[in-house]
A and B are shown apart, each in its own frame.
Chain A
Amino acid sequence: MLDAVYAEALKLRRHRATWLMVWIYPIVVALILIGVLLYGAVAPAGEAGTTATAEQWINNTLIFWEIPKSAPGRFLIAGFAALVFAGEYGWNTWKLIIPARARWQLIAAKWVVVVGFVLISLIVTDLIGLIGELLGSLQGEAIPAGVTIGALLEAHIRAIGFALAPILYTVAFAGLFGVLTQSILATVILSIALVIIEGLLPLLAVLGHNYMPGISTPLIEVLPLYHVANVMAWAKGQGMTLALGPDAAIGFSFGASLAILSAWIAAAAAATQLRFARQDLN
């Protein structure tokens, strides 16, 4: 299995799309950091800004973990997953690798590589950001008292954990769309549509409750759209209460939403494997 993952990584690590959709984060952040540091070195010293508390300062360093929760970030993750899963159909290369390895392992390797590359990219970006904060403190922006390595580490590990949910969800469905449509473009379009529908959920929930109250509420409770948004909301400390009307709202606990979302991710992954296992590759 490790060999399959290595082969997949070997294939994609220097692909143009990987640079554009995955490695772009650390590159852009590093360039911005260099620019800011150079500016800080030559610009005249300004007035000291408002001093942040330790908690605020740590929270500010978690900004890059908002990427997989944001719509543009998820578009890029979906785009990369589309390339990885549907690319083999467009390149006509399944014929090369399927005789060499069990089908389920080829798909599993793709999940590992997509999630792994995105996490590596974000972790490196995060580290560059932290280095930037550290270097900034040498130029005068002091780190508030109370910021410890332990507190920093705990906050960042927690942020990685919360970022995993949208990453896994996006990759699981992009992978499924990729295997079903066998097209990069169609996969990207469907994945983007999913994120857009998720963004329109508050509006759709109100409309649904107004016109089809008997159906819309159970649908919202069962489908993953609300739960992925709720899990991401809980990452910020408070769950998402979805107003359906003046007298009705939906609100799930973090645990319940995570369980439902996990079930959907597992179902999408299983559906991908089942479809691929039975797929004819002409």
Chain B
Amino acid sequence: MNDTTAVATKTASAAPTPAESALLPPVDVFEDATGITLYADLPGVPKDKLHLEIDADTLTIEGEAQLDLPGDLEASHAEITVPRYRRVFTLSRELDTEKVSAEMHQGVLKLRLPKAAHAQPRKIEVRG
């Protein structure tokens, strides 16, 4: 699940320039019979600064962290140095990209990518 060269070329021409570095948010991804669930840690990102995009089989998660910092704040220690997150995944064909749902709660994004009906497991009855 890495961004391929083709994807990198495509996104480079869009808004995020290569100079705009971004943090790679940690994710959990698990799959059950009906689809895939993804959780991503995006602390500091309000809902309106979250950008989700599915272009063909590419899922892009982008977010901008916003903090109300006092103007005269002098940083003495920083582990989060870039207020931006970005991560790209390649989706597989059986996922129904029309039915993706997303929710954001306390800096955690939850994405549900259901499988298309034909890709869901069916029990085949054996006759005779």
Partners in one complex: no
Binding site for B on A (CB under 8 A): none
